[in-house]
Amino acid sequence: MFAYYAQLGFRSLKRNPVLTALMIVVIAVGVAAAMTCYAVFRATSGDPIPQKSSQLFIAQIDNYGPDPDDPSGEPLPWITWRDATALYQAHKAPRQTALYPVGGSVVFDRPGQLAWPVRGYAVQTDMFPMFDVQFLYGGPWSSADDQAEARVVVISQDLNDRVFDGANSVGREINLDGTLFRVVGVSRRWTARPRFFDLDAENGFGDMGDMYMPFGRAITDGRWPDGGNVCNRSYQPGWQNFVHSECVFISFWAELPDAASAAAYRQYLVDYSNAQNRSGRFHWEPNVRLRDVMSWLAYRQVVPLEARMGMVIAFAFLGICLINVVGLLLAKFMRRAGEIGVRRALGASRRAIYAQFLFEAGVVGLAGALLGVILTGVGTLCLGLVFSPVVADLARMSPALLGITIVVALASTLLAAFYPTWRASRVQPAWQLKAG
């Protein structure tokens, strides 16, 4: 029976090649537009560290007070060095790290070799197990190195390839801005898209950093933040004055294993803010936030607005395409009312008519899916014309996207075919025979 329906379906499609081709193109264009925009949205809105995103929290403390120009009342994304130091020393979380982005240059010993600019992060050693950083060679520095502000560094696999030709560089030295640092570890290539702990550089979709150095060492060396910072209050010039001012430039992350520990840590932030109030530093009620990774991404609205709008518009366009397919299928099927009437008169059931025409629509949907896959691939290659190169690079054609495209095309076509097929199955044979 299936072979018989296939024969009837293909014969019908060949009978009206222009109409068939038009339906295939309409389906393919609609599906490709929707899937291309979905690829961008999916790439920019995923969970960057799903195994731990509910356990990693960023702490925010309002050190500026109410702002009449900001009715939301939200504290800034960063905190001061003073607050970060206090939170770290209190050690209210099993793991915790202060963090801020730093820049520098690798100086080579080779004559004529230009210095290589690098970007990384000043962190505490807990950062590596907190963020599940994997190592190719060596590992993180010790807590003692944190306390001693040791001149140690973890470098990325890419930087290790450039400087040490991919060899095991643990124990060797690297020259950063004229100062030698001992390499203790080489991190494997890792991705967290978006880069939740630093959303201000390239909207959080850049690389994961070339090097990581102890937070205290970076502060002592006077490494200015290579990223977001706000100074709403004046301070005297100079690095030490900047660090000890109310300027905010540090992210503080804590790993809290369960809801109870998160609630306790939130209360600690309130208590800390109250203590600052009593000391005369703050003059307002505690205004703190403790957000896990996904809540943080939602608050920071990481997904580009054009990705959200593009997906809404694209799926609306797909809906319009399907409405047109409904009209085309209805016209095509009802033009064959006489044929349907004869088949019904010869004993074909409504179920048989339904199966025949649904199969025919499925063939159109499959052809549209194949063309849609090609157009989706072209669309993802052209995303750089609309989105930043970093975002465009994330939304590439993948086996998962290919499968979703085919499923969406088939499902959409079959959904569009339900009403025309139902109408075809309801044709009364007596009317058609009388008309004939």
At 52 the pLDDT is 94
Whose CA is closest to 79, among 105, 61, 100?
61
Whose CA is closest to 42, among 359, 350, 421, 398?
398
Domain boundary among 271, 299, 327: 299
Assigned domain for 292 exists: yes
Whose CA is closest to 134, among 165, 157, 112, 103?
157
Same domain, 383 and 236: no
Same domain, 81 and 226: yes
Assigned domain for 318 exists: yes
Distances (CA, A) of 159 to 113, 178, 209, 280, 389: 15, 17, 9, 47, 21
Task: Pick from 147-161, 290-304, 393-407 the range whose average pLDDT is largest.
Answer: 147-161
Q: Which domain holds residue 386?
A: 2-45+304-435
pLDDT band for position 228 (cuts 50, 70, 90): confident
Q: What is the 3-state secondary structure (H, E, C) of 48-114?
A: CCCCCCCCEEEEEECCCCCCCCCCCCCCCCCECHHHHHHHHHHCCCCEEEEEEEEEEEEECCCCCCC
Distances (CA, A) of 198 to 23, 56, 78, 190, 193: 46, 14, 11, 15, 11
Same domain, 85 and 193: yes
Same domain, 289 and 315: no
Domain boundary among 234, 265, 299: 299
Residue with tokens 């306790």: 264
Instruction: Give the count of alpha carbons within 13 A of 388, CB side only.
Output: 13
AA identity, residue 223? R
Element containing residue 149 per DSSP (H, E)? none
Partner residues linked to 175 by β-bridges: 107, 180
Assigned domain for 51 exists: no
At 343 the pLDDT is 63
Instruction: Give the count of alpha carbons within 13 A of 330, CB side only.
Output: 13
Same domain, 85 and 212: yes
Backbone CA torsion sign across 216, 218, 220, 223: negative
Write out pLDDT tens, residues 153-181: 999 999 999 999 999 999 999 999 999 99
Write out pLDDT tens, residues 15-48: 677 888 888 888 889 988 888 888 877 777 778 8
At 418 the pLDDT is 78
- The average pLDDT across 224-246 equals 89
Assigned domain for 234 exists: yes
Asked if pLDDT for residue 434 goes beyond 60, the answer is: no
Same domain, 166 and 38: no
Same domain, 360 and 289: no
Same domain, 91 and 143: yes
Same domain, 149 and 193: yes
At 431 the pLDDT is 47
Per the document, the length of the chain is: 436
Say if CB 218 and CB 406 are below 8 A apart. Answer: no
Assigned domain for 382 exists: yes
Distances (CA, A) of 376 to 29, 71, 229, 353: 9, 42, 40, 34
- Give backbone dihedrals phi and psi of 387, rounded to 5 degrees, phi first: -105, 170
Assigned domain for 326 exists: yes
Token code pair at residue 405: 């495209």
Torsion angle defined by CA atoms of residues 257, 260, 263 and 265, in that order, rounded to the nearest 10 degrees: -50
- Over the chain, what is the mean pLDDT? 85
Assigned domain for 50 exists: no
Partner residues linked to 117 by β-bridges: 105
Burial of 224 (0-12, 13-18, 19+ CB in 10 A): middle
Between residues 434 and 112, the one the model is more confident about: 112
Write out pLDDT tens, residues 353-371: 767 777 777 788 888 888 8
Write out pLDDT tens, residues 311-321: 888 889 888 98
The structure's pTM equals 0.74
CA distance 357 to 359: 5
CA distance 391 to 406: 24
Token code pair at residue 335: 């033009």
Same domain, 156 and 214: yes
Write out pLDDT tens, residues 92-135: 999 999 999 999 999 988 777 888 899 999 999 999 999 999 99
Partner residues linked to 122 by β-bridges: 100, 213
Write out pLDDT tens, residues 70-83: 778 899 999 999 99
Residue 395 neighbours by CB under 8 Å, 6+ apart = 36, 39, 40, 42, 43, 44, 380, 383, 387
Assigned domain for 141 exists: yes
Domain boundary among 299, 334, 350: 299
Same domain, 174 and 312: no
Between residues 325 and 172, the one the model is more confident about: 172
Same domain, 237 and 132: yes
Residue with tokens 């203790």: 184
At 204 the pLDDT is 53
Distances (CA, A) of 111 to 108, 114, 373: 8, 9, 51
Work out how many domains the chain is built from and give that number.
2
